[in-house]
Amino acid sequence: MNTAEIEMMVEFHRHELMLDTREEDLRWDRWTNNVETMLGHSLDGDQEEDGYSIDRAHDFYVDGLSAVDATLEFKILRQ
């Protein structure tokens, strides 16, 4: 493989990584928007005081909870 071919492969993989990251960001944005809509407020809160936080939401997202399941969990935590 020559230098030009290696540079093209590196650029291709960098572009793929950028697209994957962007798609994940869009999924996260849609997910949080759905949870906030169902809760009726922002997720920007203090977990201990409010029963919800963006950090806890991210944990739920990474764990694979649906927006509906995360909303239910937040509602249970606030009781």
Angle at 61 between CA 52 and CA 23, to 5 degrees: 130
Q: What is the pTM for the complete model shown?
A: 0.74
- Tell me which amino acid residue 55 is: D
- Give the SS3 label for residue 11: helix
Number of domains comprising the chain: 1
pLDDT in tens, 33-74: 999 999 999 999 999 888 899 999 999 999 999 999 999 999
Provide the residue range defining the domain that includes 32.
Answer: 3-78
pLDDT in tens, 17-40: 676 778 888 999 999 999 999 999
Nearest by Cα to 53 from 68, 32, 26 = 32
